[in-house]
Amino acid sequence: MTAHVKPKALENFKARDFRMLIDGTWTEGAGQPIERIAPGHGIVVSRYPAGSKADAERAIAAARKAFDDGPWPSMTGAERSNILLKAADLIAARADELAFLDCIESGKPISQAKGELGGAVDIWRYAAALARDLHGESYNTLGDGTLGVVLREAIGVVSIITPWNFPFLIVSQKLPFALAAGCTTVVKPSELTSGSTLVLGEILIEAGVPAGVINIVTGTGPEVGAPMTTHPDVDMVSFTGSTGVGRLTMANAAQTLKKVSLELGGKNPQIVFPDADLDAFIDAAVFGAYFNAGECCNAGSRLILHTSIAADVTARIADLAKKVKVGDPLDPTTQVGAIITPQHLAKIGAYVDGAAKAGALVALGGAALDLGLGQFMAPTILSGVRPDMAVAREEVFGPVLSVLTFETTEEAIRIANAIDYGLSAGVWSRDFDTCLTIGRKVRAGTIWMNTFMDGASELPFGGYRQSGLGRELGRHAVEDYTETKTLNMHIGARTGWWMPR
């Protein structure tokens, strides 16, 4: 690998200063700004206000007033849809700017960031269509004297808390659906990657979203996130992040019995049978393990290989993984970028060291890479992993692939299900019966068959067990941001229970 040098794109670069958005006004924070150091380049690239509890409360009050008194909830679905479509067009027009921010702040490759922006635009357009399609039900089969109508009404004020690994894509899996339903929102992006979300605030104002409907408060979880999950004027919390913080979020929301949607961790298996198309699988295995440097809740971090093919397949995966280009996130040919923080890089390394001490073999990589600037991790493969090892059960959130083996279908299913998570899984076999058996028996929200990490705006996304609650995307995503109300209408005279009959 070549030495890492500062790219031309950053030679005359000046760090960008941002402000928070509260009630339609861009505002400074009271404290020292948060400086974001680019994980791939080691320089300050962004500064954000360090929001406080008071800032979060002001944003919540603005969202409450906008919901209770403002025009957004009472607009027609078509009116909201048109604004969301305009937002999608503006996102597309500023896609290079948004991708650049996500690239330098998160360390992800620029080519990947641009792909994510294309996916986000599609999600905004899909949510805009759903704004016009949200509807309830009617029942005229309850007898001549009764008509039942079931309404879907916007739930109210929604707190949206997003992580650092997919800054723009994940806010796009939440915010447009909440807006389509007629909700008002307070958004807290990660303090590591707030830039693209703040630009989204500019876009939504330009698209015509009224003041107070979208508020963006930057800062840390204890200062900003906590009041967003406990405040009585918040009706729902939508959170994506670690399972540990998800538990805390759920406990906070329980104080006022808020609705909670949680998209949390994963330890996702790919189960491979001897009759699989191994060429296709090996490419998918490398992609699933090292996409976004493995900092992905959907990462295919566990391979469960049939014993008859395990040695050969592991060797072939290692050969392909050696060709994966790790380097400057701004280089269009880079496939794996930087690790988000030095602390997280150390955590990944500790998992690898712990696995080796427990008896796993480091078949590839296993160490940090010195590329001159920033922090990088070599694509890593651990073979001989047992199901009871921490690296096989816990979310490493890095470019580390654990290889386990099985003899029977029943054993593969048992290994796949023997963890706390259930976000996604893959199965590889030319036998449809085998694929369907795995698909029915593995407890996960998405099962890929002879592919991995494919997706579409139309398909629901979410997990079982400690991978979270609720679903994002799909035609029912807007419904998650609504309450159901029954109107039970009586026609004609009513006979009271105490009157003679």
Asked if residue 301 and residue 235 are part of one domain, the reply reads no
List all residues 6 or more positions away from 357 whose beta carbon is below 8 Å from its beta carbon: none
Whichever domain contains 348, its CATH number is 3.40.309.10
pLDDT at 499: 62
163 & 278 share domain: no
Indicate which residue of 223, 263, 295, 395 is catalytic.
263
> Is residue 316 in some structural domain?
yes
Is residue 107 located within the same domain as residue 232? yes
Query: Do 53 and 28 sit in the same domain of this protein?
Result: yes
CA 15 to chain centre: 26
Residues 252 and 286 in one domain: no
In a domain, 239, yes or no: yes
In a domain, 460, yes or no: no
pTM above 0.75, yes or no: yes
Domain contains 458: no
- What is the per-residue pLDDT for 500? 60
Do 342 and 363 reside in the same domain of the chain? yes
Structure-token match 């490493």, residue found? 396
Q: How far from 89 is each of 118, 121, 443, 459, CA to CA, in Å?
A: 11, 8, 38, 22
Q: Do 246 and 355 reside in the same domain of the chain?
A: no
| 496/489 Cα distance (integer angstroms) | 16
What are the backbone angles phi and psi of residue 168, rounded to the nearest 5°? -85, -35
Domain count, the chain: 2
User: Is 360 within 8 Å of 384 (Cβ atoms)?
Assistant: yes
Same domain, yes or no: 22 and 171: yes
**Residue 492 domain flag:** no
CA 425 – CA 447 distance, rounded (Å): 5
Report yes or no on 280 lying in a domain. yes
Q: Do 230 and 323 share a structural domain?
A: no
Q: Looking at the structure, do residues 416 and 481 belong to the same domain, yes or no?
A: no
CB 134 within 8 Å of CB 180? yes
Q: Does 410 fall in a domain? A: yes
What is the structure's pLDDT at 501?
55
Q: Which residue has the tokens 């206000």?
A: 49
Range of the structural domain that residue 398 is part of: 269-449
Cα dihedral across residues 470, 474, 478, 479: positive or negative: negative
> Is residue 409 one of the residues assigned to a domain?
yes
Complete DSSP assignment for 61-111: HHHHHHHHHSSGGGS-HHHHHHHHHHHHHHHHHTHHHHHHHHHHHH---HH
Q: What is the pLDDT of residue 6?
A: 60
CATH of the domain at 103: 3.40.605.10
In single-letter form, the type of residue at position 500 comes to P
Distance CA 434, CA 273 (A): 9
Q: Which strand (E) or helix (H) includes residue 314?
A: helix 310-321
Block mean pLDDT (10 aa), the chain, length 501: 56 90 94 93 95 97 97 98 98 98 98 98 98 96 93 98 98 98 98 98 98 98 96 98 95 96 97 98 98 97 98 98 97 97 97 97 96 94 97 97 98 97 98 97 97 94 95 95 96 73 55
- Cα–Cα distance, 365 to 397 (Å, whole number): 16
Closest by Cα among 330, 286, 301, 488 to 404: 301
Q: What element of type H or E holds 144?
A: none
Is residue 137 part of the annotated active site? The answer reads no
pLDDT at 12: 80
Q: Are residues 237 and 144 in the same domain?
A: yes
193 in the same domain as 87: yes
Q: CA-to-CA distance for 403 and 393, rounded, in angstroms?
A: 12
Q: How far apart are CA 334 and CA 325, in angstroms?
A: 5
In this structure, is the dihedral angle defined by the CA atoms of residues 164, 241, 264 and 391, taken in order, positive or negative? positive
